[in-house]
């Protein structure tokens, strides 16, 4: 298992939004499987602590890139910083999540959603994919959410941005398969990450840890464009996507997002 990702995709993986939570879990799981890792986030102190732990625990090489993923030229700068690497896996986990009623959201917060959640994965994928295509192998994981499968009241801009990631990943899956590149969107359920626990202490049924979600996601690479880790989450996705009307699905998700603060 530790060599399989390297053999299929390349020696290095890049995780954007890696400083804590789900991104850190992805980095740890990749390193456990023998991948060298590039960590990207704006919190340099957290990145370096994680990098030191990954080197000590797994004996891999780690690069830390301190960038604000909302920056206007960040995709090009990251692309230049990893141009010398055999980059095989790219994971975009970063997200900005303003919680509250849409009419109460400030314009700056909404602009941040677009910059981090939409512009970030779009342009970073465009920056990194040509080299993967030239090598004829690679994998991309865009992290979405069950909230991106239908409108989610009180996180309207976030859920809309995550729907963008779903459609982008599915389209890229269709385009890039012939280039040897696997593309998937991870529609994760709620996880007890620092960000989630700061907004609520409610535990949803079937909640997985970030570590287990990352493990299941990486295990599913190459099996299709959409990954929903966890049996309960998969049943929930089927429920809101196929069995309920859109009105019922939105009202159901509103019961969960209504607990966020």
Per-residue pLDDT, 2: 42
Phi-psi sector, 152: left (phi>0), alpha (psi -120 to 50), beta? beta
Per-residue pLDDT, 35: 97
Tokens of 93: 């986990």
Give the DSSP letter of residue 58: H
CA nearest neighbour of 64 among 72, 73, 54:
54
What is the Cα–Cα distance from 183 to 194, expressed in whole angstroms?
27
Per-residue pLDDT, 236: 87
Secondary structure class of 215 (helix, strand, coil): helix
The series of mean pLDDT values per 10 residues for the chain, 261 residues long, is 79 97 97 97 96 98 97 96 97 96 96 98 98 97 95 95 98 97 96 72 81 97 96 89 84 79 67
Give the DSSP letter of residue 207: P
Per-residue pLDDT, 206: 79
pTM of the model: 0.92
Q: How many domains does the chain have?
A: 1
What is the Cα–Cα distance from 45 to 164, expressed in whole angstroms?
31
CATH classification of the domain holding 119: 3.40.50.720
Q: Cite the active site residues.
A: 158, 162
Print the domain residue range for 168. Answer: 4-257
């Amino acid at each position: 298992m530790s060599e399989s990702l390297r053999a299929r995709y390349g020696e290095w993986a890049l995780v954007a939004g890696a400083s804590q939570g789900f991104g850190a879990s992805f980095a740890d799981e990749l390193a456990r499987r023998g991948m060298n890792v590039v960590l990207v986030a704006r919190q340099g102190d957290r990145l370096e602590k994680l990098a030191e732990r990954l080197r000590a625990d797994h004996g891999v090489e780690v690069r830390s890139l301190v960038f604000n993923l909302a920056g206007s030229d960040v995709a090009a700068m990251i692309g230049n910083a990893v141009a010398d690497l055999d980059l095989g896996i790219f994971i975009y986990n970063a997200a900005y999540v303003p919680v509250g009623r849409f009419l109460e959201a400030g314009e700056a917060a909404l602009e941040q959603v677009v910059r981090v959640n939409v512009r970030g994965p779009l342009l970073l994928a465009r920056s990194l994919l040509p080299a993967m295509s030239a090598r004829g192998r690679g994998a991309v994981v865009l992290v979405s959410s069950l909230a991106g499968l239908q409108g989610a009241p009180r996180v309207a801009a976030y859920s809309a941005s995550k729907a963008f990631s779903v459609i982008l990943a599915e389209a890229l899956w269709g385009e890039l398969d012939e280039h040897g590149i696997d593309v998937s969107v991870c529609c994760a359920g709620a996880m007890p990450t620092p960000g989630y626990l700061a907004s609520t202490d409610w535990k949803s049924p079937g909640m997985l840890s970030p570590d287990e979600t990352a493990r299941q996601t990486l295990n599913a690479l190459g099996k299709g464009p959409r990954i929903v880790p966890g049996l309960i989450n998969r049943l929930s996705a089927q429920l809101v996507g196929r069995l309920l009307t859109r009105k019922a699905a939105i009202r159901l998700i509103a019961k969960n997002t209504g607990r966020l603060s």
